Amino acid sequence: MKQDLTFKEKEELLEYHFSQYHSVQRRLRFTMQWCEVGESQVNPMELAYVFTIEEAMGTLDAESYRIMYNDFIDRLAKNWWMEFYGKTTYYRLKQLSMDKFIRCLHE
């Protein structure tokens, strides 16, 4: 894998991971809601994927977690960060947050 990803490439990688994460979560919720107790319809790889994403999120400091959560999980309004940061600070912290998350995912 290429070591030096651009900001945009990191964003695209994380958009992909979190889109998969949301998709798997929806599928797991549906499966658990509609399957009878004892039926094994849950794919263990999907559970592992959700667990991996959540564990990676759990390793982040509070600032990084806020940025990753609001940008990729909760998907708040586009400029949610303006209440907390200036533009330069936000993008600097987002870059660091994405680096931490990606490093955790791929170690």
1, 90, 18: which is closest to 56 by C-alpha? 18
Q: Residue 66 falls within a domain, yes or no?
A: yes
pLDDT score at 36: 56
C-alpha 59, offset from chain centre: 12
Mean pLDDT of all residues belonging to the chain = 86
In this predicted model, what pLDDT tens digit does every residue of 76-92 receive, in sequence order? 788 999 999 999 999 99
Residue 17 covered by a domain: yes
Centre a 10 Å sphere on the Cβ of residue 38 and count the other Cβ atoms it contains.
5
For residue 12, give both structure tokens: 């695209």
pLDDT digits 0-9 by tens, 43-75: 778 888 888 999 999 999 999 999 999 999 988
Are residues 11 and 99 in contact, defined by beta-carbon separation less than 8 angstroms? no
Answer yes or no: is 15 within a domain: yes
Confidence of residue 1 (pLDDT cuts 50, 70, 90): very low
69 in a structural domain: yes
Is residue 49 within 8 A of residue 26, CB to CB? The reply is no
Would 1 be classed as within a structural domain?
no
Plot region of 75 (φ>0 → left; ψ -120 to 50 → alpha; else → beta): left
Please indicate, yes or no, if residue 83 is contained in any of the structural domains: yes
Number of domains within the chain: 1
Is residue 2, in this structure, part of any structural domain at all?
Answer: no
Range of 53's domain?
A: 7-105
